[in-house]
Amino acid sequence: MSSWTPAQLRHVAAFLGLRRIDAPTVYESFGEDFLAAPAPGFLNLGLWPTPSGDLEGAPAAARRLVATLAEELPRGGTILDVANGLGAQDLVVDALLSPRRLVAVNLTAAQLVAGRQRLEAAGAVAVCGDATRLPVASDAVDGVLSVEAAFHFPSRRAFLAECARVLRPGGVLAFSDIAVERVPKDPRSLIAGATNTRFWGIDPRTVASTRAIDRLVREAGFTRVRVERVGHRTIDPFCDFLDARLAAADAATLPPGQRFAGRRIIGQWRHLRRRGALEYLLVRAELPEP
Ligand SMILES: C[S@@+](CC[C@H](N)C(=O)[O-])C[C@H]1O[C@@H](n2cnc3c(N)ncnc32)[C@H](O)[C@@H]1O
C-alpha cells in the first residue's frame, strides 16, 4: 500500500465534511492490507493476555477475541454473525461451534465480496443488511455474535430488539462494544472525541457508557446479562501493537498522511484511556425461556 486508493480518498473527503460519512464509506477504505488489521481478514483490536501488545501477539489476540465471544454460544445450532467484517472470524466460529447454519450479515457489501472465499470455507451464507433491521425470521436463531461493531449501529436499542426477535427462547447473544464512560471537557479530549466519531462514521448520539449499555440489554428482554470491562486487554495493548506497526519497515512505504493519521489516533485513544473515558466491553446475555 504505497499510495491512496479511491476508497481511501472517499473516506478522507467524507472526514473533511464534504459529504455524509457512513460505515460502508469507512470500511470500503480498509482493505485486506489495512495497517491496523491484527491479522489478514480481522478488523478487531484483539483480546491480549496482558496490557501490553506487540507485532507477534496480534494474530493470536484477534482470534482470542472472536473465540472468547463465540464460546458463549450454543454448538451445532443456527448462528447469526452480525457485522462480520472480512470473514476471518467466521472461520473461527465454524471451527469452534460447528454450526448447523451460519449466516453473516454486513452493511458493507464490499467486505462480503472481499471475504467470499473465507465465507465459503466457513459454510456461511452472506447477507448484505443492517444490524438494526436484520433480514432474518423471528425465533430462527440459537446464537447471535457481533464482534466490535455495535458502536457503529444507528441505534443499539434497535439492534438489541432485533437480536431478541430473531433468537429463540433460551438463545444466547455475545457481542463486544466500545463504551464512553464519561465525556472529559479538556480541549484534547473534545478534539479526540470529535475526530474519532467522524473518522469512524459514528453518530455521536449513539455514544453510551457501560451502565447504559448494560441497561439497554436488560430492557431488550435479556436475562443473565454479564458485562466485562476489558479495555486493559484490548485498547491498551492494541495501541502498542499499532505503534510497532507504524515503526516497522513496511510502514515506510505508507503515504505520510496515513502514518500521521495512525499516530494521531493512537495518541488520542491513549489520552481518552488516561482520562477514564474509553472502555471496551464483552457482553453475554440470554433470552429467557417461556
Ligand atoms: C470494526 S469492524 C469489525 C468487523 C469484524 N467483526 C471484525 O472484528 O473483524 C465493524 C464492522 O461493522 C460493520 N457495520 C457497521 N455498521 C453496520 C450496520 N448498521 N449493520 C451491519 N454491519 C455494520 C462494518 O461493515 C464492519 O464490518
pTM of this structure? 0.93
Higher pLDDT among residues 97 and 34, named by residue: 97
Mean pLDDT of the chain: 93
Q: Could you tell me what percent of the chain has a pLDDT over 70?
A: 96
pLDDT at position 3: 73
111 lines ligand 1 (CB under 6 A): yes
**Residue of 152, 156, 163 to test ligand 1 pocket, by largest number of atoms within 8 Å of CB:** 152
Closest C-alpha residue for ligand 1 atom 5: 85
- Looking at 3.30.1280.10, 3.40.140.10, 3.40.50.150, 3.40.570.10, the CATH number of the domain 6-286 comes to 3.40.50.150
Mean of the pLDDT values across residues 222-227? Answer: 98
Q: Is the pLDDT of residue 188 over 80?
A: yes
Average of pLDDT values for 203-227? 97
Give the residue carrying C-alpha cell 444466547: 172
Task: Give the pLDDT mean for 48-55.
Answer: 97
CB of 27 within 6 A of ligand 1: the answer is: yes
More confident: 63 or 183 = 63
272 confidence band (pLDDT: 50, 70, 90): very high
Query: What is the per-residue pLDDT for 125?
Result: 98
- Residue 290 Cα to ligand 1 midpoint, Å, equals 32
> pLDDT class for 249, splitting at 50, 70, 90?
low
Average pLDDT value for residue range 82-108: 98
Mutating to test ligand 1, I would choose from 21, 43, 145, 199 the residue with most ligand atoms within 8 A of its C-beta, which is 43
pLDDT band at 251 (very low <50, low <70, confident <90, very high): low
